[in-house]
Chain A
Amino acid sequence: MLEILKQPWPWYVSGPLIGISVPLLLVFGNKMLGISSSLRHTCAAVAPFNIQFLKYNWKAEMWNMFFVLGILIGGFVGGVLLRNDVPIDLSAQTITDIKNLGVNSFEGLLPADIFSWESLFTVKGFIIMVLGSFLIGFGARYAGGCTSGHAIMGISSLQWPSLVTVIFFFIGGLLMTHVIAPLIYQFL
């Protein structure tokens, strides 16, 4: 059994399990699936600085902090306890494309040649890790949610603003992948 669980989980197992979190959170306490809100709650708790958008009762949203703490623990369960060392079964074309970017480490979940402490002190590593994540935090709050809140919760509850937002997630993602990122990898 453990050996089966350690294998990579196919999409038709993982997708429905992710989807089940929607009714679980609703039934457990009328909670909307959403992850990026936790970033706002953290800012509100740690550095509100009289900013209007950060002045609210974040303590009433503690459930969300427990939820993301659980996601972190889940990373430990999935990535350490159920770890397997089989390389990710990427398409051959993806491997070629990634190598063309100058990335050659294919072990684990992240390429070590970008995501490492040494790389943080290179221009390229800094831009990918710091600018990339800055855009994630800034954009998610500006858009009112991230992949979980809009793509899964929003579209599941048939909300057209979420569908539009997800379409723009993809427009931004395609623009980055096919136009901007190649320049970053080539020139930095």
Chain B
Amino acid sequence: MKNIKYLLVGVLFGTVLTKTEAVSWFRIQEMFRFQSFHMYGIIGSAIAVGMISILLLRKFNIKALNGEAIVIPDKQFNKGSIIGGTIFGMGWALAGACPGPLYSLLGAGYSIIIVPILGALLGTWTYSYLRPKLPH
């Protein structure tokens, strides 16, 4: 199964998110009130490690396991970065979670989180439906 390795990265990712309390509504409230360094430390050090890793992959011209060169596509800037970004941030603060934590919280046994997962799916579907009419 070629996809098992991605599942294992997910298990690491989800375990870490949960044990460091980044999945907690309380920590998100604290973050948006600038009352603790905790969440900023997590995001900042994750970015630092990600950045250094990518620099090293490029410097040593490391290939993917299947022999392909590693290619990172450009992220596109459009009005969605601003409007969608603001909408996402409002949801992040209100529900106190972003998509990764929603999955982890369900796994941690909070059955009620099935509701926000369905809500996020409904939001995704609604965006897809309205997309031709929205400014981009």
Contacts and interface: CB of A to CB of B under 8 A. Distances in A.
A74 B14 CA distance: 4
B30 A94 contact: yes
Please classify the interface of chain B as helix (H, G, I), strand (E, B), loop, or mixed, using the class held by over half of its residues: helix
Contact of B82 (A155, A158, A168): A168
Which bracket fits the contact residues of A?
35 or more
Contact of A159 (B20, B25, B74, B104): B74
Contacts of A15: 20, 41-46, 48-49
Interface string B26-59: 1101101101111101111111111101101100
Nearest to B36: A91
A170 interface: yes
A64 B10 CA distance: 9
Interface residues of B, number: 114
B88 A31 contact: no
Interface in A54-71: 54, 62-64, 66-71
Among B2, B102, B111, which residue has the most Cβ atoms of chain A within 10 A?
B102
A17 interface: yes
A88 interface: yes
Contacts of A139: 84-91, 123
Please indicate which of the listed interface residues A70, A82, A169 has the most CB atoms of chain B within 10 Å of its own CB. Answer: A70
Contacts, number: 512
B124 A40 contact: yes
Scoring B16, B25, B118, B123 by chain A CB atoms within 10 A of each residue's CB, the highest score goes to: B123
Contacts of B85: 139, 143, 150, 164-169, 171-172
Contact of A109 (B33, B47, B108): B108
A158 to B, nearest CB: 7
A82 B41 contact: no
B55 to A, nearest CB: 9
A73 to B, nearest CB: 5
A142 B93 CA distance: 17
Given A19-B48, A70-B9, A172-B92, 13 more contacts: A27-B65, A27-B70, A63-B2, A77-B107, A82-B18, A109-B26, A136-B92, A138-B123, A144-B76, A145-B75, A173-B32, A174-B89, A177-B93
Interface of A: 5, 8-33, 35-36, 38-40, 42-43, 47, 49, 51-54, 62-64, 66-80, 82, 88, 90-91, 93-94, 97-98, 106, 109-111, 114-117, 120, 127-148, 150-162, 164-178, 180-181, 184
Q: In the A-B complex, list the 10 residue pairs whose CB atoms are closest, starting with the nearest.
A: A70-B10, A74-B14, A79-B108, A172-B89, A142-B84, A137-B123, A75-B107, A19-B49, A78-B18, A135-B91
21 contacts: A11-B38, A19-B50, A21-B13, A25-B6, A30-B64, A54-B128, A63-B6, A69-B10, A80-B107, A129-B119, A132-B96, A133-B115, A136-B95, A137-B91, A139-B85, A139-B86, A140-B84, A148-B98, A162-B75, A168-B82, A173-B32
